[in-house]
Structure 1
């Protein structure tokens, strides 16, 4: 005979454990898609060998050396995330669509140019500002009928050497989802063990917010129009929040439904991560010919110090002896400070300049002619990094640190990211297009996520304005919880990320 009443009275939420990070957290804070200016976005982010754009301060800072005039730039934008999610465990599950739109500031900064054509170092320029590296604003929902319960995870945890957690298994014990036998045998049981093959409805809402914005402090020089070198000290500022609302409901036939006693449960989580880091970016550009430029940049690991604040709550509704019970329990406020070291990055780039022009009369029938400039460029970037080199550092939790870092090495792989772009100009008008491919960072996953972009701009001597649109198409998979032996839930997501960015700049 099982007895959950005594367990509820005792309130067996006995021990807290470290709120564990996993490889997905490391991936989140090491996967960047530099927002930058509308010019950069419109050309697929492939300006590393060409420079003269504020976004290169976060990719190849040598490009800062091409500036001849000082410049102030600001890039507001609109970001839209569309997600379609389906629970794969349910063959007949519907795909549910969610949308999220937010306004952001992609770039804000100033370049101070010091140009002198009569010295070997033609320019020595300094730049300071902010570039957005990542955007976390997204909502999604899924629902369907399948075998397995989140209580299976809590039961495995309670019966393991790790013991009871105030944020998971302890809550399940508090609300009666887990209980001991009578007499006790040292193990915890659940209603779901009475019908392990029963399917019931489950759903979840997930709301994420936040971004990584990087403060950049850059210095670059141009040596005889042949070699440019530059360096950036980057200070990424991390803000990430996620709220999860997970539910299970037994809609089976009869009074007891599919699972005896069980009616419904809810498990809600909230996590807020904030912190800062520091890195160094070194870059060089070699002007091989009048039309060909080659670039190389190396990014050191980013050393981040992060703080987590997290809470959880659980509700459980069941019927016993024809009487319905419902209990709710909330965790204490949890906090944890830790460090993350992200991988090295290596970026190679090339740019091919297309120039030309023609003489045209200033007005019909006029003998006075002016040169109308036509031209542009084609560019490419190839980035390499090994996501498996992410490393967490915990003070006082050596075993947990070794375990999570071993998982990172087992799950994450090296990746190559390709960016292509081009621009064509006619007098003051610019037209742009870009394309990028990102290799999956997961071992054994051959998925390539792509993005397309388009843009246009107006360039005058002391003023410019650019507009760009980018659309990223991503395929992702999500699991609401993990277990060792019980069925897990797998959600497939199609995520389309769109953004429109306007850049306004003034030269002085």
Structure 2
């Protein structure tokens, strides 16, 4: 058996081994900021029935998260807990394949208590309230899958119009990252494990080089010249149809716990403040399985899994007031501070 065949066999074995990375990232990108800043309307049945329009009403535990003065509207101590049901129905169509996912789950969406202390003296401060309120502000549970045969005939080419990879294969994904990078920047050093190499490349060179490393070390990509200064790569798949099976799943939620203080002044003015503790719990997993029977393909099956685990905590505060102009008309005003978050993300790829 010649050396070239031995090299191929060793690299083909890597397809079954997988590659793992664990890294911690501080901060947010645009997609993170969008995901974690959006709130769903959850809470008590009364609150949801009015689509959360409680800024000037108060008198509801979920309303406390909108306007902290809302607890001062209670005439007596109050507690409530609410459970919600989330229905997931996703239908997909991918070329000749279809997929359908149906799921549901019950979660605690709101809970809290407010204690009312009435002032029996002649002071214009009629009562004070102290409370704690929990709100599940967003639900990240979701799942779907797509399956089918990709029949696109586009190809990825270099600047000289030479073939690099089939455009409908995962080989194109890795080739786009790898081309232009030196071979010695995307491969493991002697006596360095794949996991060590992945970690070191990520720390020193970044995500782009890591993806190129995955493509090369799993034999999806082949260098044009086997030398350290090589910067051109082609995929070990030939043109044709590719069968794809893609699965997406996410779980988690955003939550907020508010420590609430409020008071009623006179008959018509309510004031309050919230000190909010925010937390994020989010996990996402995607899995792509690709197969082909194309003549000349060295790699016929690829499985690529990406996982993200996010944990975060934050702080914000709110100031609010409600003015009862008449028995039928109230005006509410709330100031929401920015939310200061610390977010840690752990990623893995196999």
Shorter chain as normaliser: what TM range? Answer: 0.7 to 0.9
1:292 offset after TM fit, Å?
A: 0.9
1:156 offset after TM fit, Å?
A: 2.4
| Richer in helix (by share) | 2
Structure 2 match to 1:31: 38
Counterpart check, 1:158 vs 2:195: no
Counterpart check, 1:297 vs 2:334: yes
Structure 2 runs not aligned, ≥5 long: 153-167, 187-196, 199-209
Structure 2 match to 1:172: 215
1:193 offset after TM fit, Å?
A: 7.5
1:21 offset after TM fit, Å?
A: 5.8
Q: What TM-score do you get using the length of structure 2 for normalisation?
A: 0.75
Aligned to 2:53, what secondary structure does the other structure show?
Answer: coil
Selected match of 1:115 from 108, 115, 118:
118
Counterpart check, 1:127 vs 2:127: no
Alignment of 1:259-278 (within 5 A): 260-278=297-315
Structure 2 match to 1:233: 275
Structure 2 match to 1:464: none
Structure 1 match to 2:161: none
Give, in whole Å, the separation in 2 of the partners of 1:157 and 1:241. 26
Structure 2 match to 1:244: 286
Give, in whole Å, the separation in 1 of the partners of 2:126 and 2:293. 75
Alignment of 1:98-113 (within 5 A): 98-113=101-116
Give, in whole Å, the separation in 2 of the partners of 1:124 and 1:18. 44
Aligned to 2:214, what secondary structure does the other structure show?
Answer: helix
Selected match of 2:251 from 185, 200, 209:
209
Aligned to 2:258, what secondary structure does the other structure show?
Answer: strand
Counterpart check, 1:149 vs 2:186: no
Selected match of 1:182 from 225, 245, 249:
225
Check conservation: 2:23, 2:347, Cα contact below 8 A.
Answer: no
Give, in whole Å, the separation in 2 of the partners of 1:212 and 1:103. 15
Cα gap change, 1:275 to 1:21, in 2 (>3 Å): closer
Structure 2 match to 1:312: 349
1:30 offset after TM fit, Å?
A: 0.8
Give, in whole Å, the separation in 1 of the partners of 2:242 and 2:38. 36
CA offset digits 1:235-265 (Å, max 9, x no partner): 112111112111222256xxx2xx7334121
Aligned to 2:32, what secondary structure does the other structure show?
Answer: helix
Aligned to 2:37, what secondary structure does the other structure show?
Answer: coil
Give, in whole Å, the separation in 2 of the partners of 1:209 and 1:99. 15
Structure 1 runs not aligned, ≥5 long: 314-508
Alignment of 1:355-394 (within 5 A): none
Cα gap change, 1:298 to 1:145, in 2 (>3 Å): farther
CA offset digits 1:378-429 (Å, max 9, x no partner): xxxxxxxxxxxxxxxxxxxxxxxxxxxxxxxxxxxxxxxxxxxxxxxxxxxx
Give, in whole Å, the separation in 2 of the partners of 1:312 and 1:227. 56
Q: What TM-score do you get using the length of structure 1 for normalisation?
A: 0.53
Give, in whole Å, the separation in 2 of the partners of 1:17 and 1:79. 32
Structure 1 match to 2:189: none
Cα gap change, 1:309 to 1:292, in 2 (>3 Å): same
Cα gap change, 1:310 to 1:233, in 2 (>3 Å): same
Aligned to 1:82, what secondary structure does the other structure show?
Answer: strand
Give, in whole Å, the separation in 1 of the partners of 2:66 and 2:88. 25
Check conservation: 1:57, 1:64, Cα contact below 8 A.
Answer: yes
Give, in whole Å, the separation in 2 of the partners of 1:50 and 1:21. 35
Check conservation: 2:145, 2:245, Cα contact below 8 A.
Answer: yes
Cα gap change, 1:124 to 1:246, in 2 (>3 Å): same
Aligned to 1:113, what secondary structure does the other structure show?
Answer: strand
Alignment coverage as a number of residue pairs? 299
| Richer in strand (by share) | 1
Give, in whole Å, the separation in 2 of the partners of 1:39 and 1:218. 20
1:132 offset after TM fit, Å?
A: 0.7
